């Protein structure tokens, strides 16, 4: 049986350029600026959480919405946030107490 080629090295993320820890107090939103020069953020959390991009006011939805881009996102993984670098950043909120890491990467 032939060996596979494996995972291309350029497909593997390097260590983060900047890391932040978020400690959630249930129902309390927290706002963060996009760190200077960062383009991508990866989230990892031990509880469900919501993210609002370009905002300081993440809220937990209490009803259905069809608002599109103004709605928060549940449990994102990795996102390109270059477009938010000149706005108010991002905000996070959880209905539970817990911890989340945000690991940031520069473009290219």
Give the model's pLDDT for residue 60: 92
Q: Which residue bears the tokens 């599109």?
A: 68
Higher pLDDT, 45 or 2: 45
pLDDT tens by residue, 11-22: 777 889 999 999
Taking all residues of the chain, what is their mean pLDDT, rounded to a whole number? Answer: 86
Higher pLDDT, 36 or 8: 36
Beta-carbon contacts of residue 78 (< 8 Å; ≥ 6 apart):
40, 41, 42, 43
Phi, psi of 10 (to 5 degrees): -70, -10
- CATH value of 17-60+72-106 in 1.10.1740, 1.10.287, 2.60.120, 1.10.760: 2.60.120
Q: Per the structure block, which two tokens stand in for 105?
A: 């990467």
- Please tell me which of 54-68, 75-89, 94-108 the model is most confident about, judged by mean pLDDT: 94-108
pLDDT tens by residue, 32-55: 988 888 889 999 999 999 999 887
Length of the chain, please?
Answer: 108
> Whole-model pTM?
0.83
């Amino acid at each position: 049986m032939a060996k596979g080629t494996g995972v291309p090295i350029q497909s593997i993320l390097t260590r983060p350029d900047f890391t932040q820890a978020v400690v959630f107090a249930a129902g309390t939103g927290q706002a963060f600026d996009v760190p200077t020069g960062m383009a991508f953020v990866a989230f990892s959390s031990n509880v469900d959480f919501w993210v609002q991009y370009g905002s300081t006011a993440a809220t937990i939805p209490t009803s259905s919405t069809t608002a599109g881009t103004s709605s928060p996102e549940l449990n994102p993984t990795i996102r390109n946030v270059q477009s938010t670098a000149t706005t108010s950043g991002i905000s996070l909120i959880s209905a539970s107490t817990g911890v989340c890491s945000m690991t940031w990467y520069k473009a290219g």
